[in-house]
Amino acid sequence: MKTKLVKFISFLVSDKRYFIESTKSGKFKLPVMENVNGKHKKVYKYLSPREVINDPRIKHGDPSITLENGDKFRVFQGGDASSMLVEADSVLYLHEKFFLEKAEEEKKKALKETQPINYDQADFDFSYGYDDEW
């Protein structure tokens, strides 16, 4: 059974629907224009689904969400970007929660693999030939 995670976010620009696919980490790669030394440069940022939906270019482009199981949700009722539908908000929340917990588990696993071994004083034998009587 497929999980209810966001697979695609789609939106309209000039009567054409564009799709952004989720990465393995649950983020979405979105092109963003940045000003670098007085020049405009297109860079890609990895954003959470909520950040993608709140981007002004996408928010007013009638965004919709496609889940891994094939279900589709409109984010805003009738394309009105003033209020988000509860179902879409819940899907975004569950998606972000799933990948946040997954990242925490991976961090804990990596930390366990790199932690030093704690020794007790009894584990050390200091009787290997020091002569205290000079």
Does residue 2 have a pLDDT over 60? no
Q: Which two tokens stand for residue 9?
A: 């976010």
Q: What is the 3-state secondary structure (H, E, C) of the chain?
A: CCCCCEEEEEEEECCEEEEEEECCCCCEEEEEEEEECCEEEEEEEEECHHHHHHCHHHHCCCCEEEECCCCEEECEHHHCCCCECHHHHHHHHHHHHHHHHHHHHHHHHHHHHHCCCCCCHHHCCCCCCCCCCC
Q: What is the pLDDT of residues 41-53, one digit of tens each?
A: 888 899 999 899 9
In this predicted structure, what is the pLDDT of residue 1? Answer: 40
Does residue 131 have a pLDDT over 80? no
In this predicted structure, what is the pLDDT of residue 133? Answer: 60
Domain boundaries, the chain: 6-113
Categorize the per-residue pLDDT at 21 as very low, low, confident or very high, splitting at 50, 70 and 90. Answer: very high
Give the integer Cα–Cα distance in Å for 51 and 54.
5
Torsion angle of C-alpha atoms 7, 13, 14, 18, degrees rounded to 10: -30
In this predicted structure, what is the pLDDT of residue 116? Answer: 67
Categorize the per-residue pLDDT at 130 as very low, low, confident or very high, splitting at 50, 70 and 90. Answer: low
